[in-house]
Amino acid sequence: MKPTPQTDIAPTTDPMTAPMTDKMAEAGLADPYREPSPLFDSINRLGEAFSTMSTEQFIVAFIATVLGGLVVVFIAWLSLRAWGGLLKLFWRVVGRLGVLPGIQGFVVRGYLRRVRERFGAVRNIYLDREEELDLHRVFVPLTLARADRGNRGDKQSIEQAITTPQTTREILTRNPRLVILGAPGSGKTTLLKALASGVSQHQWPEWRNLVPVFVSLRAFSRVPEKPELYDWLAHDLLPEEYAIRRAEPLLKRLLDPGRGKRRGGRRLFLLLDGLDEVNAGDISSVLNRVHAFLKGNGEGCRTLLTCREQNYNLLSDTTLLRSQGMGEYRFTDMRDSEVDAMVESRRQDFDARPNRAIPNFLAAIRANPRVFELHRNPLLLTLSIGLYLHRLDDAVPQHRTEFYDESIRHLLRRHDFLTDPGLDKANRFDYRDKYALLCRFALASMEEALARREDFEDFRVADLIAAADGLARNLLRIEPNEGRALVTEIQVHAGLIADTGNRETYTFAHRSFHEYCAAWELANLGDAGLQRLQGRLAQSAWRQTVLFYCGMDHRHAEQVVKQLWNTGRLALAGHCAAVLVRPHIELRKRVVIALGAALSAKDTKGQQPLLLALLVNAKSVGAVAFSA
């Protein structure tokens, strides 16, 4: 008889593992191979709680949870606001107390915090975003070269410059007083703002004890009483702009060379921006006051001053600066590697756009050597990148004026979203109306400001709105009462004008945009524009506008070059001949020959402007000019 097979098999238990399994079960670990996790346990308990809830209980618990979260968020927000308010109140009180014993360090830290807030970020209108600005994130190349002007070009200094090349950081940190020269858009103001932001954050150990003070020489020159620089810093700039009510004791301490040499002692770092933006009638007064400040403070102050090189070459009072040890350096054009590095720093922008690749852009700008020379300027390269990212082809601007014209048109139409049909048009007004307004106002404001013997860069926004309302009655496709809305659209959507901080005074996004728009209006006026320009050719404030005018494709450009040549202004004639859109080879050859003859007859002191004009013009003419 066969045994009956068992269908229910009794589980077997290993007497060695039973005690361990029982202990794990008691600890809540049903699976002996799962690692203990508070998160899993919480999820399990939460799931069990939800499974036993009724619908009404779940709704009540959900509402209570949401309300509790909102209360927590509100309390956190309120706490942050209160803390921010207390900090502002603290620094305001510290600023009013000045430098009473024991709180000087608080005053300096509060001041440096305000400097970081003011200069630590910049609006990049060409790429439509905010960007950080300091010594680690300067988006212009910092390449400087010695700008000798006869009196410093001795054999010893030249040999030293050749045998001991210096980096830009070494030039800046080893020379206590410098003049930084450069072309429009080369990054002079950006450099000073980056230094103000970076030094306030102690990013360079060599300058850890410096306290930067950024000074707009244009603003300083406009003070009616013509105060000394020391008095203006102590009683106007620092109290009004940085809320240091008793600034003079602090300024004295910063200028004390004995304190600056002590460990932990602070020294003033004076950043003087835009000598070329000072009205011609005020240049001598400003230079004399800067000279007096430097002479009176000896080793107690490091100083950097910026100026357009083309304007600096025309000044007769620069010996005042040299007498106080101001060395002169200039921004060079970007090297090939620097162009590549600047483009590479925008990789995220290229990657964000379909069919936009860095190799294709670099190939496009290198296709023509003359076009690539233009791209060695930081501002023009930035404009070209902004245009390329929004184009459907690989074309790049071919002439200097094209960079500005295409950029202005692009910025004015940016929120039309022409390349993205899925987005609704945000602009109300036609870009041609906005462009016409900017050009007419740029010329009118330049003429009016210079007639008052003032610099033209900043203007009252009320005047721009009035100009828009006036043009609306005659030319523009807008109603007369829409001038304010039109100006607001230019500011907010295009970024071509910007508030200077008081909501009443505005500037163009870059000084050269103002000058270009004025030149465009003069060219558009034809014979009448030529007549208006002819009376301005000798004025240094119009120099860049004259260059833009000659760089546009119209029949009057050659006439301006001839007039400059015939009236003996050879240096400007050379620069203007170099930017002519049409070849004009014979005219350029005659200008080169005239510059060469003038150089041979000039003394050493007067050769610099002529030599620069000759080199610029000869580069544009090429071998054809030198064959004459």
Q: Which helix (H) or strand (E) holds 234?
A: none
Two structure tokens written together for 324 = 């106080």
Report which residue type is found at 447.
E
What is the C-alpha separation between 452 and 455, in angstroms, rounded? 9
Two structure tokens written together for 579 = 């930017």
User: Quick one: pLDDT band at residue 436, thresholds 50, 70, 90?
Assistant: very high
Please answer whether residues 194 and 273 qualify as being in contact, where contact means their C-beta atoms are separated by less than 8 angstroms.
no
Two structure tokens written together for 321 = 């600066």
What pLDDT is stored for residue 193 in this prediction? 93
Residue 544 is assigned to a structural domain of this protein: no
Of 233, 234, 328, 227, the residue nearest 285 (C-alpha): 227
What is the C-alpha separation between 340 and 381, in angstroms, rounded? 11
Residue 394: count other Cβ atoms within 10 Å of its Cβ.
15
What is the C-alpha separation between 613 and 374, in angstroms, rounded? 16
pLDDT tens for each residue of 445-470: 999 998 888 889 999 999 999 999 88
Beta strand pairing status for 121-124 and 129-132? antiparallel
Q: Which helix (H) or strand (E) holds 145?
A: strand 144-146
Residue 527: count other Cβ atoms within 10 Å of its Cβ.
9
Residue 192 is assigned to a structural domain of this protein: yes
Helices 511-524 and 431-451, interaxial angle, to 10°? 100
Q: 417-450: string of b/e by CB count within 10 Å (b at 16+)? A: eeeeeeeeeebebbbebbbbbbbbbbbbbbeebb
Cα distances (Å, whole numbers) of residue 460 to 166, 237, 445, 456, 494 = 44, 21, 10, 11, 19
Cα distances (Å, whole numbers) of residue 187 to 73, 340, 517, 551 = 44, 17, 21, 22
pLDDT of 16 strictly over 50? no
What pLDDT is stored for residue 119 in this prediction? 92
Two structure tokens written together for 27 = 């600890």
User: Quick one: pLDDT band at residue 273, thresholds 50, 70, 90?
Assistant: very high
What pLDDT is stored for residue 455 in this prediction? 87
User: Quick one: pLDDT band at residue 2, thresholds 50, 70, 90?
Assistant: very low
Residue 390: count other Cβ atoms within 10 Å of its Cβ.
14
Q: Are residues 574 and 527 in the same domain?
A: no
Q: Are residues 485 and 430 in the same domain?
A: yes
Of 226, 209, 223, 229, the residue nearest 297 (C-alpha): 229
More confident residue, 48 or 528: 528
Average pLDDT over residues 19-36: 48
Q: Are residues 234 and 327 in the same domain?
A: yes
Q: Are residues 262 and 136 in the same domain?
A: yes
User: Quick one: pLDDT band at residue 518, thresholds 50, 70, 90?
Assistant: very high
Q: Are residues 357 and 445 in the same domain?
A: no
Most confident region among 44-48, 199-203, 513-517 by mean pLDDT: 513-517
User: Quick one: pLDDT band at residue 157, thresholds 50, 70, 90?
Assistant: very low
pLDDT of 49 strictly over 70? no
Please answer whether residues 405 and 415 qualify as being in contact, where contact means their C-beta atoms are separated by less than 8 angstroms.
no
Rounded to 5°, angle at Cα 201 from 232 and 506: 50
Residue 156 is assigned to a structural domain of this protein: yes
Q: Are residues 388 and 415 in the same domain?
A: no
What pLDDT is stored for residue 50 in this prediction? 60
DSSP string, 363-395: HHHHSSHHHHHHTTSHHHHHHHHHHHTT-SS--
What pLDDT is stored for residue 40 in this prediction? 61
Torsion of CA 354, 359, 363, 366, to 10 degrees: 120
Two structure tokens written together for 46 = 């939460």
Residue 498 is assigned to a structural domain of this protein: yes
Average pLDDT, the chain: 81
pLDDT tens for each residue of 609-621: 666 666 665 555 5
pLDDT of 339 strictly over 90? yes
Q: Are residues 278 and 150 in the same domain?
A: yes
Two structure tokens written together for 526 = 């034809």
Tell how far CA 575 is from the center of its chain.
26
Q: 357-367: string of b/e by CB count within 10 Å (b at 16+)? A: ebeebbebbee
Q: Are residues 404 and 311 in the same domain?
A: no
Domain finish residue from 534, 565, 591: 534
What pLDDT is stored for residue 149 in this prediction? 55
pLDDT of 342 strictly over 60? yes
What pLDDT is stored for residue 611 in this prediction? 61
Residue 53 is assigned to a structural domain of this protein: no
Please answer whether residues 131 and 124 qualify as being in contact, where contact means their C-beta atoms are separated by less than 8 angstroms.
yes
Sequence-ordered list of residues with C-beta below 8 angstroms from that of 241, at least 6 positions apart, any chain:
none
Domain finish residue from 313, 332, 351: 332
What pLDDT is stored for residue 571 in this prediction? 85
Residue 456: count other Cβ atoms within 10 Å of its Cβ.
25
Among the residue ranges 30-34, 272-276, 512-516, the one predicted with the least confidence is: 30-34
Helix/strand/coil for 478: coil
Residue 55 is assigned to a structural domain of this protein: no
Please answer whether residues 147 and 330 qualify as being in contact, where contact means their C-beta atoms are separated by less than 8 angstroms.
yes
Q: Are residues 323 and 343 in the same domain?
A: no
User: Quick one: pLDDT band at residue 440, thresholds 50, 70, 90?
Assistant: very high
Q: Are residues 294 and 370 in the same domain?
A: no
Please answer whether residues 554 and 583 qualify as being in contact, where contact means their C-beta atoms are separated by less than 8 angstroms.
no
Query: Can you give the residue range of the structural domain that contains 173?
Result: 104-332
What pLDDT is stored for residue 27 in this prediction? 45
Name the phi and psi angles at 230, rounded to 5: -60, -45
Q: For residue 482, give the DSSP letter.
A: G
Domain finish residue from 300, 315, 332: 332
What is the C-alpha separation between 191 and 138, in angstroms, rounded? 7
pLDDT of 365 strictly over 60? yes
Two structure tokens written together for 329 = 């350096």
Q: Are residues 241 and 320 in the same domain?
A: yes
What is the C-alpha separation between 568 and 553, in angstroms, rounded? 24
Burial group, residue 42, by CB count within 10 angstroms (0-12, 13-18, 19+): exposed
What pLDDT is stored for residue 11 in this prediction? 46
Torsion of CA 502, 506, 507, 509, to 10 degrees: 90
Percent with pLDDT over 70 in the chain: 77
Residue 66 is assigned to a structural domain of this protein: no
Cα distances (Å, whole numbers) of residue 254 to 263, 436, 527 = 14, 49, 56
Count of structural domains within the chain: 4
User: Quick one: pLDDT band at residue 129, thresholds 50, 70, 90?
Assistant: confident
Three-state DSSP string of 406-436: HHHHHHHHHHHCCCCCCCCCCCCCCHHHHHH
pTM of the model: 0.78
Q: Are residues 317 and 455 in the same domain?
A: no
Residue 593 is assigned to a structural domain of this protein: yes
